[in-house]
């Protein structure tokens, strides 16, 4: 893991929604983009992306419930989190935010779009959960066996947090040296908290079975008619990239971007490559009204990665 170019971190703020603290960072003005991080992460995973998008957008990244400085909520299913985040969007004055979600946050973004499609002008799914059953076997092991119950206790074992972060880096990226040292430091801090690991385990156990992922939204993707971009690392070993092709093909106006030499941690390991496809998509003019159109418009593009 290496230190990459320095990105100024926006100051975090806190609002209360349903009597629950919600931490978020925002920057910029213009059409709103709401950024949703993945399992075990925080809004800081989006720092590089947020800093770039702030040039044209009001970019807002939230700590999902139970992560970072946000409190937990009773219903931590993807649909329950999505419902809660629409209340967060209302509290922040985000009337029609484009949604960009990574991993677990991608599954939540899809659920938000299902719930209120008229409020989502554009959708970006980055290595999103719920696009098929396939998932790294380690998550099935944690989600379905007694060994999973030991997961939160890694926080207290000597070297436990460091070992977990090392595994995440090696499994999450084919070139882990591109991952910023700041990410590793923050993840070690998070992995030192039994509460954070317990929240992650709860999500894993809700979302996986011996068959793999259980919170599948792929079959519902044809319901979404807004422009949508599916971005995936070609070497993703957490959620295999073949799921990206199927997801893009099912979306009413789907586009596919596969990032070579990149894995699951796209916002962290390859933010420039992610932005190369996502920023123009988010800045594009709206499509004509296609709510009643039966046209299936799927394009495929491959983006270049940056070293």
What DSSP letter does each residue of 259-270 carry, written as one string?
Answer: ETT--S-HHHH-
Secondary structure string (H, E, C) spanning 76-138: CCHHHHHHHHHHHHHHCCCCCCEEEEECHHHHHHHHHHHHCHHHCCCEEEECCCCCCCCCCHH
> Over the chain, what is the mean pLDDT?
90
Contact 35, 26 (CB under 8 A): no
**Tally of helices (H runs) and strands (E runs) in the chain:** 10, 11
In which residue are the tokens 């060994």 written? 147
Distance CA 253, CA 68 (A): 34
Which segments in the chain show pLDDT lower than 70?
1-7, 287-307
- Residue 288 CA, chain-centre distance (Å), reads 28
In which residue are the tokens 């969007």 written? 89
What is the pLDDT at residue 147? 83
Distance CA 297, CA 249 (A): 8
What is the pLDDT at residue 304? 39
What is the pLDDT at residue 9? 78
Is the pTM above the cut of 0.75? yes
What is the pLDDT at residue 8? 72
What is the pLDDT at residue 156? 86
How does strand 212-213 pair with strand 208-209? Answer: antiparallel
Distance CA 78, CA 125 (A): 14
What is the pLDDT at residue 300? 40
Distance CA 282, CA 229 (A): 9
What is the pLDDT at residue 180? 94
What is the pLDDT at residue 92? 98
């Amino acid at each position: 893991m290496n230190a990459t170019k320095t990105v100024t971190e926006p100051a975090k703020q806190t609002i209360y929604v349903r009597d629950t603290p919600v931490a978020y960072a925002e920057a910029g003005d213009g059409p709103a983009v709401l950024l949703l991080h993945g399992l075990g992460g925080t809004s800081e995973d989006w720092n590089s992306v947020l800093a770039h998008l702030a040039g044209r957008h009001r970019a807002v990244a939230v700590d999902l419930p139970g992560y970072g400085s946000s409190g937990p909520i009773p219903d931590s299913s993807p649909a329950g989190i999505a419902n809660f985040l629409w209340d967060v969007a209302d509290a922040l004055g985000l009337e029609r935010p484009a949604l960009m979600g990574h991993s677990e946050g991608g599954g939540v973004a899809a659920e938000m779009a299902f719930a209120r499609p008229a409020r989502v002008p554009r959708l970006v799914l980055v290595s999103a959960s719920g696009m098929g059953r396939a998932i790294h076997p380690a998550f099935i092991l944690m989600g379905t066996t007694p060994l999973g119950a030991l997961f939160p206790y890694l926080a207290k074992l000597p070297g436990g947090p460091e070992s977990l972060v090392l595994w995440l880096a090696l499994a999450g990226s084919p070139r882990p040296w591109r991952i910023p040292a700041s990410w590793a430091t923050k993840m070690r801090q998070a992995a030192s908290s039994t509460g954070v690991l317990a929240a992650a385990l709860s999500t894993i156990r809700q979302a996986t079975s011996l068959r793999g992922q259980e919170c599948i939204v792929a079959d519902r993707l044809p319901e979404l008619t807004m422009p949508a971009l599916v971005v995936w690392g070609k070497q993703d070993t957490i959620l295999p990239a073949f799921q990206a092709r199927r997801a893009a093909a099912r979306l009413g106006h789907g586009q596919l971007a596969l990032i070579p030499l990149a894995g699951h941690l796209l916002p962290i390991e390859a933010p420039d490559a992610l932005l190369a496809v996502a920023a123009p998509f988010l800045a594009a003019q709206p499509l004509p009204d296609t709510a009643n159109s039966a046209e299936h418009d799927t394009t495929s593009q491959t983006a270049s990665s940056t070293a």
